[in-house]
Structure 1
Amino acid sequence: MKRDLELIRDLLFAIEASPEVDMVASLREKGYSEEQVGFHSYLLGDAEYARVIDVTTMGHVLPQALAINLTWKGYEFLDSARESNRWKKAKGALSKVGNTSFDVIVALLKEYAKQELGL
């Protein structure tokens, strides 16, 4: 399964809103499967953007996790990616180069935020 940046961002918003929001249900409404949510939760835990519980079983093809809450790093990314115009601008820039590392995306978002602040 490919990493889905929209799902990553949506999942971080859902984790932030938790426990008020059923994360899986809210993301299922956006067209994501439970397996996609579980795998991307696992990725967020692996990258230390969220605290997760590994719920992978022998029946899973891909690693699965249940996100519990965001870490400082997760909040920092979410604050950089929260503004939708900034997010769209970063995604537009990325579409010119194709796939790139998540660190580049984070750096772009931070750079756009600095520009907005006149720094």
Structure 2
Amino acid sequence: MDLARQIMLEIKNAPCTVSWVDIHLEGRTERDISYHVMQLAKAGLVEAEGTTETGSDVDWKANDLTWQGHDFLEAAEDDTIWQKAKKHVQEKGEALTFDVLKAVLTHLTRQAVGL
């Protein structure tokens, strides 16, 4: 989930003039990033496309967040709330799935703003 969040932050912060966001993250391979972009696209969080550049490997490139991706990132952008949400889910022994994490993030965000 940390890598998915990092990728989404990179996409959000990329200039609007680029057609594909070139994502490079320290300690992560291009293959790891490409795989996670593909999974984020399948989950409906990013707009992305798989391309074959050389050989048979498909390289997934993202160009934007979807509405659902923006909603998730809005809740997940604050580092303190992100860490609290992950800790809460892990302490409860729940699986760190997107739906569970989003529900906890939304709850913590509402608490933070007094709702």
| Band the TM-score falls in, shorter-chain normalisation | 0.7 to 0.9
- Verify the 8 A CA contact 1:11 1:23 in the aligned structure 2: no
**Deviation per CA, 1:86-113, whole angstroms, max 9, x where unpaired?**
0000111122215332100000000001
Q: Does 1:93 align with 2:88?
A: yes
- Verify the 8 A CA contact 1:15 1:69 in the aligned structure 2: yes
Aligned equivalents of 1:17, 1:100: Cα separation in 2 = 25
Normalising by structure 2, what TM-score? 0.84
* Larger relative helix fraction: 1
Which residue of structure 1 lines up, in the alignment, with residue 67 of structure 2? 72
**Deviation per CA, 1:37-68, whole angstroms, max 9, x where unpaired?**
000000111011110012258733xx641111
Q: Which runs of 5+ in 2 are unaligned?
A: none
- Verify the 8 A CA contact 1:52 1:67 in the aligned structure 2: yes
Aligned partner letter, 1:112:
L
Shift in alpha-carbon separation, 1:98–1:55, aligned structure 2, 3 A: farther
- Verify the 8 A CA contact 2:50 2:60 in the aligned structure 1: yes
RMSD: 2.1
> Could you tell me the percent identity over the aligned residues?
29
- Verify the 8 A CA contact 2:76 2:105 in the aligned structure 1: yes
